[in-house]
Amino acid sequence: MASNKIIGIDLGTTNSVVAVREGDKVTVIANAQGNRLTPSVVAIGEKGERLVGQVAKRQAITNSKNTVYSIKRFMGRRHNEVAAEEKLVPYEIVGGPDELVKVRVRGKDYTPPEISAMVLQDLKRTAENYLGEEVKKAVVTVPAYFNDAQRQATKDAGVIAGLEVVRIINEPTASALAYGLDKKKNEKIAVFDFGGGTFDISILDVGEGVFDVVATNGDTHLGGDDLDQRVMDFIADTFRADTGIDLRKDQMALQRLKEAAEKAKCELSTVLETDLNLPFITADSSGPKHLTMKITRAKLEELTRDLIGRARGPCLRCLEDARRKRGAAFNVDEVILVGGQIRMPAIEALVKEIFGRDPHKGVNPDEVVAVGAAIQGAVINQEIKDILLLDVTPLSLGVETLGGVVDILIPRNTTIPTHKTKVYTTASDSQPGVEIHVLQGERPMSRDNRTLGRFELTGLPPAPRGMPQIEVSFDIDANGILNVHAKDLGTGKEQSIIIKSSSGLSDDEVHKMQREAESHAEEDKRQRSLIEKRNQADSLVYNVQRTLKEHGSKLSEPDRAKIEAAIKEIQEALKGDDLARIERASETLTQASYTLAQMLYQQKQPGAEAGPAGPQEAPGAAPGPGPQAPGETPGPKGKGEGDVIDADYEVKE
């Protein structure tokens, strides 16, 4: 059955989180590994199988070329826009300079929405396991500073994952919702979000159910990853000075270095000095080399001072915009810190310096965005009433006019949804048509802004320049997605575009990817159940063999032979991938081992004539698939750790 719940998803650069509102509270849902944060990491294995989250992250060291992380940095972006990002990642980025980026993994090209969809699929499953029903709808968050193409790409990722993205909301707005839902008094808040890949700042007016975004700003090229890179470079430079070896040339060493650098960075949020220890990091003719080093918090701060300082500009511009809109006396009452990186003391100090107050510490910086998204889901579902969310568009939108100058129709920080129209005309006599070049950005010349789309309105009747009246209208919906329309008022001729193609994917492509993701979901499910069955069969064999070894001598020869034959069959079955055969063999062995279980049971209760008839009725007596967690690797286990026969019969002392 499909759930009517709308889940909230924080699709982060580094970590993703899923939450749902039930009754009056929001639950942040733990994934299959029991974690509330799922790394936004995807890997493709040798057989084309897809790994997501912690399992993907864990194998990154040995499979770095086929492991994709930070894909959010590439969402909706063209190759020539991501030169800096490309240098940060070990996987291959393909596509011409003006084309949308693709990622090449094991010879196959994936669009960023496809990769993100794999993460979304995983989160969808997490929510479904928790709710016990299919989930169809989600609210997904994006950085406030995401442009139209990036938003559209995020929506596409949802569709590919089989989720209807009922609303895209800005991460800071989501945080404000989570923070301010129960606030009765009016408050002006700033949400300062420093995550792994992006930095966002928003100022909101919150109170009595109204969430009014006053201004927003940020830097989509600034995050914790950049700090890690600085630390890595420092370590690699130091190591090279000592040994002459450049670790950056060795993928495996580089990946270990990256992990160690991030770990050191995080530790330095709470301690003043930390040890780095990477044995056997590389080798030369003189033998293996180990890397040991101390890093102090002061060193980390020195290495990253300029990066952290880059958060200042957007904050000041945001404050300035807010004051322009609300008066020079406008000030914030509370600063909410969001994102993993805000745990760094230097960042907190910067916040304090900019806003002149200690930041609020009452929200969980890792989970608050997803919680807000879940609240928004409940608002859309009308489970929560009387909430008004007034978001703004983060960048100015306009059209190109004569001489390549941008004419702005919708200035940045305009509350959305919004609708603007303006009348333009021709630049030369008898001009047969006009090109509408739609732009996003703050620069005066069109070439310095981002092209969202172009279309032509043709068939204008001959007329002197300046005569035709062409009405251009811009509509931004609640997701921040733009629709542009042009009309010749003289002839009534119209032309419009939804700036949709800007994510680079047509509806057909999105649907094709969706089908592919679905087929993978089937295949992944089959793979998982195969692994589960294998593991169960494996531990069954282990348990029966062990019991047979200890107590087999008490069995009759035919009984013993029967069990041994069953073991042999299951071992044969396990050599292949035939799920049905493994299941059959498991069943046969389970049946055969009843004899063994029965014998042990009777031994244990020699005088119990009136006792339970046989092991079939004793719950859990059969040494079949036991309490072992599915997917767990079977192996020698201690008593009571899933060793069913021993645990139930207590034969051993």
Cα–Cα distance measured from residue 597 to residue 605, given in angstroms and rounded to the nearest whole number: 13
Q: Which of 122, 128, 171, 348 is labelled catalytic? A: 171
221 contacts 212 by C-beta, under 8 angstroms: no
Q: Which does 266 bind (CB under 5 to 8 A by kind): ligand ADP, Mg ion, none?
A: ligand ADP
φ, ψ (nearest 5 deg) of residue 588? -60, -45
14 binds ligand ADP (CB under 6 A): yes
Q: Tell me the C-alpha distance between 339 and 383, whole Å.
A: 28
The nearer residue to ligand ADP, 297 or 487, going by C-beta atoms, is 297
Q: Is 113 one of the binding residues for ligand ADP (CB under 6 A)?
A: no
Partner that binds at residue 212, options ligand ADP, Mg ion, none, CB closer than 5 to 8 Å by kind: none
**340 vs 441, beta carbon nearer ligand ADP:** 340
Q: What are phi and psi of 37, to 5 degrees?
A: -105, 130
Structure tokens at 574: 């396990």
Decide if residue 53 touches ligand ADP (CB under 6 A): no
- Residues in 242-281 at the binding interface with ligand ADP, rule: CB under 6 A: 262, 265-266, 269
* β pairing state of 494-498 and 482-488: antiparallel
For 147-286, strand residue ranges (E) read 164-170, 187-194, 199-207, 210-219, 273-284
Coil, helix or strand for 183? coil
Site string for Mg ion, 2-31 (x = CB under 5 A): ----------x-------------------
CA proximity to 405, closest of 448, 362, 371: 448
Q: Where are the strands (E) in 57-149, listed by range?
A: 67-68, 92-94, 102-105, 108-110, 137-142
Interface with ligand ADP by CB under 6 A: which range of 158-166, 189-197, 440-448, 637-645? 189-197
Active site residue 200: no
Other Cβ atoms less than 10 A from the Cβ of 100: the count is 22
Position among 76, 162, 195, 468 found at the interface with Mg ion (CB under 5 A): 195
Q: Is 218 in the site for Mg ion (CB under 5 A)?
A: no
Q: Is 246 a catalytic residue?
A: no
Q: Which amino acid is at 382?
A: Q
User: Which CB, 224 or 624, lies closer to ligand ADP?
Assistant: 224
How many residues bind ligand ADP (CB under 6 A)? The answer is: 20
Q: Which two tokens stand for residue 247?
A: 């670790």
Footprint of ligand ADP on 353-412 (CB under 6 A): 366
Whether 507 is a known active-site residue: answer no
Instruction: End-to-end CA distance of the chain: give it in Å, rounded.
Output: 49
Q: Which is nearer to Mg ion, 12 or 480 (CB)?
A: 12
Q: Which of the listed partners (ligand ADP, Mg ion, none) does 14 bind, with a CB threshold of 5 to 8 Å by partner kind?
A: ligand ADP
Quote the crossing angle between the two packed helices 297-309 and 224-243, to the nearest 10°.
Answer: 130
Which of 193, 348, 391, 538 is an active site residue?
A: 193
Nearest to 524 by CA among 189, 248, 124: 124
| Residue 341 vs 449, nearer CB to ligand ADP | 341
224 binds, among ligand ADP, Mg ion, none (CB under 5 to 8 A by kind): ligand ADP
- Residue 339 in contact with ligand ADP, rule: CB under 6 A: yes
Binding positions for Mg ion, 516-575, rule CB under 5 A: none
Could you give the CA distance from residue 500 to residue 76 in angstroms, rounded to a whole number? 11
Q: Does 195 bind ligand ADP (CB under 6 A)?
A: yes
| 385 CB neighbour count, 10 Å cutoff | 8
197 is a site residue for ligand ADP (CB under 6 A): yes
Residue 195 or 468 with smaller CB distance to ligand ADP = 195
Instruction: Report in angstroms how near the CB of residue 335 gets to ligand ADP at its nearest.
Output: 16
Answer yes or no whether residue 15 interacts with ligand ADP by CB under 6 A: yes
DSSP codes joined into one string, 241-272: HHHS--GGG-HHHHHHHHHHHHHHHHHTTT-S
Contact 164, 158 (CB under 8 A): yes
Q: Is 475 a catalytic residue?
A: no
Q: Which is nearer to ligand ADP, 315 or 344 (CB)?
A: 344
Question: Interface with ligand ADP by CB under 6 A: which residues?
Answer: 12-15, 195-197, 223-225, 262, 265-266, 269, 339-341, 343-344, 366
Q: What residues line the site for Mg ion (CB under 5 A)?
A: 12, 195
Indicate which residues carry an active-site annotation: 10, 72, 171, 193
